[in-house]
Structure formats: structure tokens, C-alpha cells
Amino acid sequence: MSGILLYGLILFDIIEGKKYIGGPAINIALHMAFHGECPTLISCLGDDELGNRAEKLLTDNNVSTKFIKIDQQHETGWVRVFLDEKGEPSFEITQPVAYDFITLDDEQLSSLSETEFDIVYFGTVVQRTDVSADTLRKILKHVSYKHSFFDINLRKGHINKDVVAFSLQHTDILKLNEEELILVAAMFDLETREEQGIVDWLFAEYPAEMILLTRGENGVSVFVPDKRNDIPG
């Protein structure tokens, strides 16, 4: 198994009637596989046409499906994506779908616990149900890892303060965009909406060691306590 453990969504984005494989975890897994890495991906697919497509894509690209559950009761995740005149997306996220019911049996959890992973990666939407949220908690409790990477990915209608608070409490590396930074400030009733002030609060309140603030075409700012590095787009 690879040193990277990815926990999250496998879904299809439906854009103007066409279906594209998506979800942050599978995107990263496929990108890593393209570069010769062997990430461990944990998710859930439905026993349907989209699930079969996703499973074949993973297998064809040497991404293990050992920890991907096939759910007989729920369809593979899908999202309708709407693009505005500037090409900016909005999302209509279907629920419930297979990734809302990710589980690991004792044998799988034991197998994962035999490896010390460099990074465990997870997001927010995958924790919107008790089932998948509980599975993540088991992973964070029983699996050894050096760093945890929280890719917050807040989506309208799927934002839960308790989930965000729990995730921040278990995060070494936090990734979010400018809009999400303001949403976090509002969620926790911060008086400031000033960027550096919010970042300083996150470092003070939570164990994050690095914050990646993405700025679309304008690049990204990398924050560590008392230091900042701006990387242009």
C-alpha cells in the first residue's frame, strides 16, 4: 500500500448531459497513479453502470479497489453541475448515494492499521451521513499516519458546523478557498472577516500546521504560523 490514504467521494459530474468521473479523492488517486504512485482509496460505489465505469477506470489505472465497497441498495454518486457566464460552477448534489454508506469490516480496518501512512486525506461532504462519518472516525482512531489533510470543500446544503469542527481538530494541513475562509469565520461567529485574522485564529484554535488558501486563477497562499508565501497562478 502507498503512503497516501484517501477517504472520500467517487461520483460523476453531469455537465450539459455528459458524465465525467469526479470527486476530490478519486481525482487525486488517478493523478497520483498517473505519476507512478499507488494510493489507497476508500469509498463506495453502487452496483450500477456508473459504478462499473468507475471501477474499470480505477483498475485500468492501477488504483486498488480493495477498500471500495459495492453497495447493492444505493446508486453511485452523481452531481449536476451548472456553469454561469464566467464558467464558475454551482452544484446540485444528490442524496443519498453510495458514498453516504462507506464502511470497513474488521479485517479491512486491521489491514489498514498495519501501514503507517504519510498522509490521510478527507473532506466535508463525505461526512454528511453518520455512517460515512463514523467510518472516518474509526480510520483516524485506529490507523497510523504522520499528517492529516483536510480539503474542506464546503458545498451549499451540505455544511455542518460539528463536522467542520471535528475535522479541524484532526487536521495538520488545511486546504480551502477564499470564499470558504469567510464561511468558516461566519460559522464560528468570528468578529473579523480579515483574511490574516481568520488564519491566525485557525492556527490558535486548532492543530493545523499549514493552511493552503487557493485563489483560483490568482494562485495560492501557503500559511504556516508567522509566515506566508504567495504563489501566483
DSSP of 64-98, one letter per residue? --TTEEEESSSPPEEEEEEE-TT--EEEEE-SS-G
- Three-class SS of 5-58: EEECCCEEEEECCEEEEECHHHHHHHHHHHCCCCCEEEEEEECCHHHHHHHHHH
Q: Check whether 19 has a pLDDT greater than 80.
A: yes
Q: How do residues 162-175 score in pLDDT, each as one tens digit?
A: 999 999 999 999 99
* Percentage of the chain exceeding pLDDT 90: 84
Q: How do residues 52-78 score in pLDDT, each as one tens digit?
A: 999 999 999 989 999 999 999 999 999
Q: Check whether 87 has a pLDDT greater than 90.
A: no
The predicted structure's pLDDT at residue 78? 95
The predicted structure's pLDDT at residue 16? 87
Q: Which three cell numbers, joined as nine digits, stand for 192?
A: 473579523
* Percentage of the chain exceeding pLDDT 70: 99
Instruction: Decide if 4 contacts 121 (C-beta within 8 A).
Output: yes
Q: Check whether 121 has a pLDDT greater than 80.
A: yes
Name residues whose C-beta falls within 8 Å of residue 41's C-beta, 6 or more positions apart in sequence: 6, 10, 25, 26, 29, 58, 63, 64, 65, 67, 68
Q: Check whether 90 has a pLDDT greater than 90.
A: no
The predicted structure's pLDDT at residue 158? 84
**DSSP code of residue 226:** T
Q: Quickly count: other Cβ atoms within 10 Å of residue 93's Cβ.
A: 18
- Cα–Cα dist 193/62, whole Å: 44
For residue 225, whether the previous peptide bond is cis, meaning omega lies within 30 degrees of 0, is no
Secondary structure E strands in 47-204:
68-71, 77-83, 89-93, 116-123, 144-151, 173-177
User: Which uninterrupted H or E stretch holds 131?
Assistant: helix 130-142
Most confidently predicted of 63-67, 78-82, 133-137: 133-137
Q: Check whether 84 has a pLDDT greater than 90.
A: no
Please provide the average confidence, as pLDDT, over all residues in the chain. Answer: 94
- Cα–Cα dist 143/128, whole Å: 21
- Cα–Cα dist 197/208, whole Å: 15
